[in-house]
Structure 1
Amino acid sequence: MKKEFAVIGLGRFGGSICRELSDEGLEVMAIDIDEDRVNEFASIASHAVVGDTTDEAVLKSLGIRNFDHVIVAIGDSIQASILTTLILKELGVKHITVKAQNDYHEKVLSKIGADKIVHPERDMGRRIAHNLISNNVLDYLELSDEHSIAEIVASKKLVGYTLIDLDVRAKYGLNIVAIKRGKDIIVSPPADEEIHRDDILILIGADSDINRFEKRLLGD
């Protein structure tokens, strides 16, 4: 059985999620209070509905509790986002992801039981900043306030060394979970794996440790 998703709020963020899920062949209901936005997604989502999701009766009529995952992407009203999330929780929706506009919004969403809270603008800003700061960092994905996954291009300083030579777990508290080499991906690389030029190391660990690793080993 394919999972069924509902996306509430079809602005830039919600619309992007709706398109991607639909492109993957998943069942998606697109919901927005703006009829023009809904019409835009009528041919993209499985169902596109005009509705005020701060009205419990509307959500009940849509059978919202039957969806596996509901994404609340309302971007123009914190009040509507909070109220929608609260109603979804009371109706027993299995999993709720909500876009937060600021830290205050996130605190309220946490208190009322949102399962996952995302800050797309803030997180993208951090990823871009890391890319600008270091020529070696290709991507940076935040896992929590203090831990991330980073894709880092191996510098000349690392070429020819094995993972056991680098010993990044002991020295930096990091784990190299995979190596991208051209079109190949080496998952859980062995300790005797030698670093090649242009390898991309996929690291996981504390942000402070990733930064130390960048500064001490990656400068050409």
Structure 2
Amino acid sequence: MKKEFAVIGLGRFGGSVCRALSEEGMEVMAMDTDEDKVNQFANTASHAVVGDSTDESVLKSLGIRNFDHVIVAIGDNIQASILTTLILKELGVKYITVKAQNDYHEKVLSKIGADQIVHPERDMGRRIAHNIISNNVLDYLELSDEHSIVEIVANEKLAKKSLIDLDIRAKYGINIVAIKRGRDIIVSPQADEEILMQDILIVIGADTDIDRFEKKVFEG
């Protein structure tokens, strides 16, 4: 069965989430107080609704508790974001992701039980900065304030060596969880797997350990 999603708030972030989910073939209800924004998604989402998410009766009438995942992407109105999240929790929604404006907003959302809190602008800023700084890092995904997944292109210091030769886990405390080689992906590579030039290593670990590894391999 397809999962059913609801996206509340159709600004830049909410709109992009709505489009991406719809493109993946998911059932998506798009909701906003702004009729013009809702009309923009009438042909994208499965349902597009004008409504006030801070009104419990409106959410009840939409059967919000039946959705598998609700994304609260309300823009600058922190009060509306918090109140909407609170109502969703009280109505028993299974999983709630909320866009946070700042650290204070995140703390409140955590206390009232949001399942996932995202900072799209902050996280994208960090991601871009990380990519700009290191030419060998293709992509960067923050898992928490201290841990990340990065994609690193193998250079001559890594090529023609096996994972056991490099002993990256013991030396740096990080793990190579997969290797992209052309169109192939080697998941959980064996210790005797030899790395080739231009392999893309998918590395997971603490940011400080990943930084040490990058400096040793690409600068040292």
Q: 1:155, 1:219 within 8 Å by CA — same for their partners in 2?
A: no
Structure 1 position 76, deviation (Å): 2.1
Deviations 1:19-71 (A, max 9, x none): 11111111100000000000000011000000000111111111101111000
Q: What secondary structure, in the 3-state scheme, does the structure 2 residue paired with 1:92 have?
A: coil
Q: CA RMSD in A?
A: 0.9
Q: Aligned letter for 2:144?
A: S
Structure 1 position 193, deviation (Å): 1.1
- Asked if residue 207 in structure 1 is aligned to residue 215 in structure 2, the reply is no
Note the 1:84-103 alignment, pairs <5 A. 84-103=84-103
Deviations 1:175-216 (A, max 9, x none): 100011111111111111111111110001100000000001
Q: What secondary structure, in the 3-state scheme, does the structure 1 residue paired with 2:71 have?
A: strand
- Asked if residue 10 in structure 1 is aligned to residue 10 in structure 2, the reply is yes
Residue 62 of structure 2 corresponds to which residue in structure 1?
62
Q: What secondary structure, in the 3-state scheme, does the structure 2 residue paired with 1:93 have?
A: coil
- Asked if residue 31 in structure 1 is aligned to residue 23 in structure 2, the reply is no
Q: What secondary structure, in the 3-state scheme, does the structure 2 residue paired with 1:151 have?
A: strand
Deviations 1:89-134 (A, max 9, x none): 1111010000001000000000000000000011111111111111
**TM-score of the superposed pair, with normalisation by structure 2:** 0.98
Residue 51 of structure 1 corresponds to which residue in structure 2?
51
> How far apart, CA to CA, are the structure 2 residues paired with 1:202 and 1:7?
31
Q: Aligned letter for 1:126?
A: R
Q: 2:178, 2:187 within 8 Å by CA — same for their partners in 1?
A: yes
Q: Aligned letter for 2:38?
A: V
Q: 1:154, 1:218 within 8 Å by CA — same for their partners in 2?
A: no
**TM-score of the superposed pair, with normalisation by structure 1:** 0.98
> How far apart, CA to CA, are the structure 1 residues paired with 2:190 and 2:89?
45
> How far apart, CA to CA, are the structure 2 residues paired with 1:200 and 1:208?
20
Q: 1:7, 1:73 within 8 Å by CA — same for their partners in 2?
A: yes
> How far apart, CA to CA, are the structure 2 residues paired with 1:61 and 1:170?
56
Runs of 4+ in 1 over 6 A off after TM superposition: none
> How far apart, CA to CA, are the structure 1 residues paired with 2:176 and 2:90?
42
Q: 1:69, 1:93 within 8 Å by CA — same for their partners in 2?
A: yes
Instruction: Mark the runs of 5 or more structure 1 residues left unpaired by the alignment.
Output: none
Q: 2:174, 2:203 within 8 Å by CA — same for their partners in 1?
A: yes
Structure 1 position 160, deviation (Å): 1.1
> How far apart, CA to CA, are the structure 2 residues paired with 1:219 and 1:24?
40
- Asked if residue 106 in structure 1 is aligned to residue 93 in structure 2, the reply is no
Q: 2:76, 2:101 within 8 Å by CA — same for their partners in 1?
A: no
- Report how many residues are paired: 220
Q: What secondary structure, in the 3-state scheme, does the structure 2 residue paired with 1:197 have?
A: coil
Q: Aligned letter for 1:42?
A: A
- Asked if residue 177 in structure 1 is aligned to residue 177 in structure 2, the reply is yes
Q: What secondary structure, in the 3-state scheme, does the structure 2 residue paired with 1:75 have?
A: coil
Q: Aligned letter for 2:181?
A: R
Q: Aligned letter for 2:90?
A: E
Q: Aligned letter for 1:160?
A: K
> How far apart, CA to CA, are the structure 2 residues paired with 1:103 and 1:155?
38
Residue 160 of structure 1 corresponds to which residue in structure 2?
160
Structure 1 position 159, deviation (Å): 1.2
Q: What secondary structure, in the 3-state scheme, does the structure 1 residue paired with 2:214 have?
A: helix
Q: Aligned letter for 1:189?
A: P
